[in-house]
Amino acid sequence: MNDAYIIKVEKFLPNEPVSNDEMESYLGLVNGNESKSRRLILRNNGIKKRYYALDTEGNITHSNAQLAAVAVNKLFDEECKLEDIDLLTSGTSSPDAIQPSHALMVHGELGGDHNLETLTAQGTCNAGMLSLKYAYMSLLSGQARKAVNVASETLSSWMRSENYKLEIDKRKEIEDNPYIAFEKDFLRWMLSDGAVASLLSDSPNSDGISLKIEWIDITSFANELDTCMYAGCVKNEDGSVKGWRELSSEELEVSSVFTLKQDAKYLQKHIISKGNEHLLRIIKDKNLDINSIDYFLPHLSSMFFKKEIFEALQKDGIDIPQEKWFLNLPEIGNVGAASGMLMIEELFNSGRLKKGEKILMMIPESARFSYTYVLLTVV
């Protein structure tokens, strides 16, 4: 078996950062009214700015495939060109079209004469990790020597006001229970656009640092838990879902089927406990010494979760001091499938990393509760 290394990471965040006070000028007003819950939600999520592939009139400036292609092209130089790549993998929760697949659209944006293998991972926050794992396994098995993984989102266009005409203000409920804010209106004030591309190789950089991928462990709890975050369907009272193709045109409109939604109460009940259950199994099965971790990179959809996760980890006997936590959510927002690798990009290019240090990533996905943990070693 070969080894697999991340040897370069680049990002592309479109346009200028958008402050909390500017958000509705980009996304628009629902039914002509300012959101009464926006400030409460922003206070809880701790996000200060985010990036939109929109102009101030709400017009789209970049497609998802275009964002991804810009990030990928930033990886290439005289030492490594697109023609040297054997595999292109991608992950997103907001593709530009149902078909063709997102990776094919990214490859099309890259252009040129080079034919290669592609893979698209579909999902929400874990999509970028699923596509990373395919690239990782391809290098381990010798099916590829160099691969590019790109995770990208254009969620802002999904959050525009025309998709929320039936939105109900829930100010009092949010004050009483912050988890209620994780339904539709919460997502409007959390999600961000961007792309992050990683260059993987079966050998490390000759100069500078690389990140050796020790393992990528992904587990789904969908066999025991119902759907939590969803779009293109409605969730029934018994926890089952009914897909958009089964609904009448009237049901499609009244239920705002294609708006991204989240079952707040179900999120509250399971999101942290199942993540800890997965990590406890990893610690046992992989004999992971949690004290050996130098950086802990948890993907948080909201800073509201930081204290909750820290206390839950300690309760389960997993002590990761907060000085080891590395987060960039307040500065870039929640970029869905790209969030995990956007933390890696910032840390990788910060000049802070020293050879021998270990990085543990945690990527939870609430769609139907799946979790990714990744262990990296700086070499």
| Tokens linked to 310 | 């820290």
| Mean pLDDT (the chain, rounded) | 92
CA distances from 7 to 71, 87, 137 (A): 15, 15, 16
Q: How far apart are CA 170 and CA 256, in angstroms?
A: 17
Residues 357 and 212: beta-carbon distance below 8 Å: no
**pLDDT the model gives residue 164:** 66
Q: With cut-offs at 50, 70 and 90, classify the pLDDT of residue 207.
A: very high
What tens digit of pLDDT does each residue of 73-97 get? 999 999 999 999 999 999 999 999 9
CA angle 372-375-379, nearest 5°? Answer: 150
Fold for the domain defined by 5-201: Peroxisomal Thiolase; Chain A, domain 1 (3.40.47)
What tens digit of pLDDT does each residue of 321-336 get? 999 999 999 999 999 9
pLDDT over threshold 90, residue 31: no
pLDDT over threshold 70, residue 183: no
**pLDDT the model gives residue 359:** 98
**pLDDT the model gives residue 185:** 66
Q: What is the mean pLDDT of residues 311-325?
A: 97
Q: What is the mean pLDDT of residues 123-139?
A: 97
Q: With cut-offs at 50, 70 and 90, classify the pLDDT of residue 277.
A: very high
CA distances from 321 to 298, 309, 311, 350 (A): 13, 12, 11, 21
Q: How far apart are CA 136 and CA 146, in angstroms?
A: 10
Outline which parts of the chain fall under CATH 3.40.47.10.
5-201, 211-221+265-378
Task: Name the residue with higher pLDDT: 253 or 201.
Answer: 201
CA distances from 201 to 84, 121, 206, 251, 309 (A): 11, 20, 12, 49, 34
What tens digit of pLDDT does each residue of 106-125 get? 999 999 999 999 999 999 99
Phi, psi of 55 (to 5 degrees): -95, 180
pLDDT over threshold 50, residue 182: no
Fold for the domain defined by 211-221+265-378: Peroxisomal Thiolase; Chain A, domain 1 (3.40.47)
Q: What is the mean pLDDT of residues 55-74?
A: 96
- Whether the link from the prior residue into 100 is cis, omega within 30° of 0, is yes
Q: How far apart are CA 267 and CA 72, in angstroms?
A: 34
Beta strand pairing status for 5-12 and 211-220? antiparallel
124 Cβ contact partners less than 8 Å away, ≥ 6 residues apart:
93, 229, 336, 337, 365, 366, 367
Phi, psi of 348 (to 5 degrees): -60, -40
